[in-house]
Structure 1
Amino acid sequence: MKSFLFALFLLYSILNLSAQQQNDSIAALYKKQNEVKLNAVMLLAGAFEASYERNLNEESSLGVSFFTPYDNENLDANINYYISPYYRIFFGKKYAAGFFVEGFAMLNSIDREYGVQDSGGFYTYEEESVTDFALGFGLGGKWVSKNGFVFELTGGIGRNLFQNDYDTTIVGKFGFNLGYRF
């Protein structure tokens, strides 16, 4: 009787271990920690925006985005670059996916045009590069496929903190990001 109970216990343990390994491998697909993404809308508009994101747990992540234009004629903006770290809180059922709220900071540089009046009363326009720091928030959604492909829609708005005497106090971020989780 003891050998029968021992054999039954051993069989149960093996089956339980096998089921646990299968569930762990499925869960591992969603619990990968790193993501790289490109903003497809900005690529079409004439700018390059890449992001790296690190998933901290199933509900939060940290990331950083880098933006720079490569075709100023098609991109109707005066921005030179921005570097934007962010923190996200997710409200979805999957690991670090679904609806999210984001808080971000942004170090940005823009070209500002201003008028200078000469001695004859005529205005000439000059351009200068202004660097500023902004804080803001955003909303979005993230979807992750079983093989690690990431699709993300995001938008956010912030305010520059230091150069408030110019017309560039409000900054924005938006994207249609495609990437990979590994």
Structure 2
Amino acid sequence: MKKLFSLFLLISLASQAQENTVLSSKKNEFRVDLLSAVVYTKASISYERFFGKDFSTGINVNFSNSNKLNEDFDNGYRNNVPKFEFNPYIRYALSKSKSRYYFAEIFGSYNGGDYKEIIRIVDMAMPDYYTTKKSKYTDFGLGGSLGYKMYFKDSIALEFIVGFGSNLTNRDKSPDVISRVGLNLGYRF
């Protein structure tokens, strides 16, 4: 029984060591967010570069033209609608395994979209009236995320991420809260 247990332990350690070296030699990864595409009709792609054993950095790019959000915006249910985001990030792996691990992330967000407000028009020749004025906004925000990533066949990545932050510079027009929620499918090479 001891020999069988020792053999099992040796095989599992060898496969984990081989798995770690295969993943460690692959430094780049591209991902597509499936959740954003299906739920929010938002195109979201990411690139990540791995450094050392626990750190990585990358950028996430989102473009949105959702009919539902645009209808809510046009009908007055919301006063802004996000159109794009550029999210650079830094990640730290919280688990020892390279094939399945939790991570923490700090991200920045350069985002923009459409903004609408009701303004009062003062005209001396006629009575005052109100109208809707549409404009564009851009803002910069900071936030944090937590996530879980797992690899299949040493290259296929599945990642779940949840994070929130706040816009900082143009808060009267941009959304107060920015989010990074996604289910990403990727390829590491």
Q: Which TM-score applies when normalising by structure 1?
A: 0.80
Contact 1:79 1:109 in 2 (8 A): yes
CA RMSD of aligned residues (A): 2.2
Match of 1:87 among 85, 90, 95: 90
**3-state secondary structure, aligned to 2:67:** coil
Deviation at 1:104, TM superposition (A): 0.3
Deviation at 1:74, TM superposition (A): 3.7
Contact 2:137 2:173 in 1 (8 A): no
Match of 1:53 among 48, 56, 61: 48
Which residue is equivalent to 1:30?
A: 23
Q: What do residues 42-99 of structure 1 show as CA deviations (whole Å, max 9, x unaligned)?
A: 1113110000001112211101000001x42045671110101000111122227511
Which residue is equivalent to 2:145?
A: 138
Deviation at 1:167, TM superposition (A): 6.0
Change (3 A) 1:128 1:89: same
CA distance in 1, matches of 2:128, 2:175: 27
Match of 2:111 among 108, 111, 118: 108
Structure 2 gap segments, 5+ residues each = 1-14, 71-79
Contact 1:41 1:176 in 2 (8 A): yes
**3-state secondary structure, aligned to 1:80:** strand
User: Which amino acid is 1:127 matched to?
Assistant: K
Change (3 A) 1:96 1:134: farther
Which residue is equivalent to 2:8?
A: none
Q: Which TM-score applies when normalising by structure 2?
A: 0.77
Contact 2:139 2:174 in 1 (8 A): no
Deviation at 1:123, TM superposition (A): 1.7
Q: Find runs of 4+ consecutive structure 1 residues off by over 6 angstroms.
A: none
Contact 1:144 1:151 in 2 (8 A): yes
Which residue is equivalent to 2:66?
A: 72
Contact 2:44 2:63 in 1 (8 A): yes
- Percentage identity across paired residues of the two chains: 27
User: Which amino acid is 1:81 matched to?
Assistant: F
